[in-house]
Amino acid sequence: MPPVSALLPDFPWDHLTPYWERAQAHPDGGVDLTVGTPVDPVPELVQKALTAAADSPGYPTVWGTPALRDALTSWSERRLGATGLTHRNVLPVLGSKELVAWLPTQLGLGPGDRVAFPALAYPTYEIGARLARAEPVPYDDPTTLDPAGLKLLWLNSPSNPTGQVIPKDELVRIVAWAREHGVLVFSDECYLELGWDTEPVSVLDPEVRGGSYEGLVAVHSLSKRSNLAGYRFAFLVGDETVLQELLQVRKHGGMMTPSPAQAAAIAALGDDTHVHAQRERYAARRTLLRGALEQHGFRIEHSEAGLYLWATRGENCWDTVSHLADLGVLATPGDFYGPRGERYIRVSLTVSDEGVAKAAARLS
């Protein structure tokens, strides 16, 4: 059997190093618009909650405290319309990337099983399938897939990288198809709070799920909405049978969210004020960057939600990356997200106001 590393592609971000070196050679330094890592402060109420829980000498539980589970169910009911939840319908996880990468393995998938994900997608969906030695299957429309051997279907709305949102009627159609064929649906909704031109809808919306959570799990994160990427806190909501099975597996694996991070999450989930404030920051940066890109000759596609602008000049993405590097700006080549992205770049809004202003000035 080959080593696990042999199953994986090269880490794509390493290929950007020479372009970043060129961008940094700009007289005023480089502006990195690639990785979507938050740069704004952690909300004060969250910091206080973390500090207050600092004296936590004992082991936390994988399922989290009852107070955390109350916070998760309350937020999900308020924000997603996921009524009638109990603690058995929620599960905290150690950041969403860990969950995406190891979910097929934790579900017991392996050779002969198939894992489907969007053709333009966050690379970790494919990595998760490969780690489990299952077959990765990119799609344009999941309902056109051959359901044979298909065990897990990933949705991503709003999309990373494109910012595209799956309309409600489309979600209804996909859920009906998946249930008809016994395919488990995991919907990555980590950017749900960041709708710009449209309001994203959860797969757990009553009109989408009908009267049941069967076969449906939504994935959410506090990294973007609350600037808590460094706290590594995400959570699952949905089918209790699936989540209780994952809970047992994760107990054996010792996948425990630290107690201070649980306390911080409770504070973050109970407060919407800081979320609105952060949205305003991103909205201002989005307006400035979008205008500058369009003035520079880019066409923006989709980008109706989320933290990225999906842009093209009608050329190979690496030519665009090279062009921007000469201006002191680094962008992500679209082919990091699949062959369909070869003529696009992804531009992140998770840059300081000063950095956005510099980038916009250089583009303008």
| Predicted TM-score of the model (pTM) | 0.96
Same domain, 152 and 227: yes
Residue where the block lists tokens 């679209």: 334
Residue 14: the pLDDT is: 82
Residue 1: the pLDDT is: 66
Reply yes or no on whether the pLDDT at 32 is more than 90.
yes
Same domain, 216 and 240: yes
The whole-angstrom separation of Cα 195 and Cα 215 is 26
The whole-angstrom separation of Cα 55 and Cα 161 is 39
Same domain, 290 and 339: yes
Residue 319: the pLDDT is: 98
> Which residues neighbour 84 within 8 Å (Cβ) at sequence distance 6 or greater?
none
Reply yes or no on whether the pLDDT at 6 is more than 80.
no
Reply yes or no on whether the pLDDT at 4 is more than 90.
no
- Per-residue pLDDT reduced to its tens digit, 128-171: 999 999 999 999 999 999 999 999 999 999 999 999 999 999 99
Contact in structure between 6 and 133 (CB atoms under 8 Å): no
The boundaries of the domain holding residue 346 are 4-41+274-363
Beta-bridge partners for 238 = 217
CATH number, domain of 108, equals 3.40.640.10
Cis check for the bond before 41: say yes or no (omega within 30 of 0): no
DSSP, residue by residue, 41-105: PPPHHHHHHHHHT----SPPPTT--HHHHHHHHHHHHHHH--TT--GGGEEEES-HHHHHHHHHH
Let me know if residue 309 belongs to a domain: yes
CATH number, domain of 280, equals 3.90.1150.10
Let me know if residue 19 belongs to a domain: yes
Q: How far is CA 212 from the centre of its chain?
A: 25
Residue 350: the pLDDT is: 95
Same domain, 185 and 208: yes
| 304 — pLDDT class (breaks 50, 70, 90) | very high
> Which residues neighbour 150 within 8 Å (Cβ) at sequence distance 6 or greater?
114, 115, 116, 137, 181, 183
Reply yes or no on whether the pLDDT at 3 is more than 80.
no
Query: Across residues 279-296, what is the average pLDDT?
Result: 98
Same domain, 17 and 73: no
Contact in structure between 80 and 299 (CB atoms under 8 Å): no
Residue 186: the pLDDT is: 98
Same domain, 37 and 135: no
Residue 35: the pLDDT is: 85
Residue 7: the pLDDT is: 72
- Per-residue pLDDT reduced to its tens digit, 197-231: 999 999 999 999 999 999 999 999 999 999 999 99
Residue 9: the pLDDT is: 75
Residue ending a domain, among 269, 294, 318, is: 269
Same domain, 74 and 194: yes
Spell out where the chain has E strands: 31-32, 90-93, 114-118, 135-139, 150-156, 184-188, 216-221, 234-238, 299-301, 308-312, 329-330, 332-333, 345-348
Query: Across residues 86-115, what is the average pLDDT?
Result: 97
Same domain, 263 and 286: no
Contact in structure between 229 and 348 (CB atoms under 8 Å): no
The whole-angstrom separation of Cα 72 and Cα 88 is 11
Let me know if residue 355 belongs to a domain: yes
- Stretch (H or E) spanning 261: helix 259-269
Same domain, 280 and 265: no
Query: Across residues 61-75, what is the average pLDDT?
Result: 98
Let me know if residue 289 belongs to a domain: yes
Let me know if residue 50 belongs to a domain: no
Residue 335: the pLDDT is: 95
Number of domains the chain contains: 2
Residues in the chain: 364
Same domain, 135 and 265: yes
Same domain, 235 and 283: no
Let me know if residue 47 belongs to a domain: no
Contact in structure between 180 and 211 (CB atoms under 8 Å): no
Same domain, 259 and 220: yes
Residue 11: the pLDDT is: 77
The whole-angstrom separation of Cα 25 and Cα 133 is 42
Residue ending a domain, among 269, 297, 320, is: 269
DSSP, residue by residue, 169-192: HHHHHHHHHHHHTT-EEEEE-TTT
Let me know if residue 117 belongs to a domain: yes
The whole-angstrom separation of Cα 51 and Cα 206 is 38
Residue ending a domain, among 248, 269, 290, is: 269
Q: Which two tokens stand for residue 327?
A: 């201006």
- Stretch (H or E) spanning 289: helix 273-295
Pairing of β 31-32 and β 329-330? parallel
From residue 238, how far is each of 37, 170, 171, 187, 343 by CA, in Å?
27, 19, 15, 10, 37
Task: For residue 326, give the 3-state DSSP assignment.
Answer: helix
Let me know if residue 51 belongs to a domain: no
